Amino acid sequence: MEFLFEFLFTPLSTSGLVFLFSLAAVALVHLNTRPKPLQPPTDLSRQTVGVAGGARKTTLLKDDNLISYLYEDAKTLYEVFQRGLRVSVNGPCLGYRKKGKPYQWLKYKQVSDRAEFLGSGLIHRGQKPSQESYIGILPRTGQSGL
């Protein structure tokens, strides 16, 4: 116990004091300027509410008028994906894990590249890009199907 009191109350050198005050200042600046977490637009434990007939609707709706899209720049599935790529700044997009291991994430750009490779392969095989042709893809579940 005497060692602890001696250690705590022994005067520090000037360089030691400067270091401690600098460390405290850096910690204070970090705590005051770190990004705040994004708040979800709705309560995650109550994302939908029941309506007449047993159906459910999102709590994002303020009235009973249905919406076709949430963001002006994301009206199609492709636009939604491109918005996710832009907004997340190439953040994690698709996650997978092996049993007993933590999740591994594919970034938006990786998923975008895979989709482009798939489309290029279909065109190479003679498929014409148009709104008239439909292709069903049934992959195995899991990362290998991505």
Q: Is the pLDDT of residue 145 over 60?
A: no
Asked if 68 and 54 count as a contact pair (C-beta separation under 8 A), the reply is no
Distance CA 64, CA 53 (A): 14
Question: What is the tens place of the pLDDT at every residue in 17-38?
Answer: 788 789 889 999 988 888 888 8
d(CA 33, CA 26): 11
Listed by start position, the domains of the chain span: 69-130
Which residue is it, tokens 């933590």?
102
- The confidence score (pLDDT) of residue 105 equals 93
Give dist(CA 39, CA 56) in Å, integer.
23
Tens digit of each residue's pLDDT (9 = 90 or more) over 94-110: 998 888 999 999 999 99
Top mean-pLDDT range of 7-11, 78-82, 96-100, 140-144: 78-82
For residue range 38-92, what is the model confidence (pLDDT) as tens digits? 888 888 898 988 888 888 888 888 777 777 888 899 999 999 999 999 999 999 9
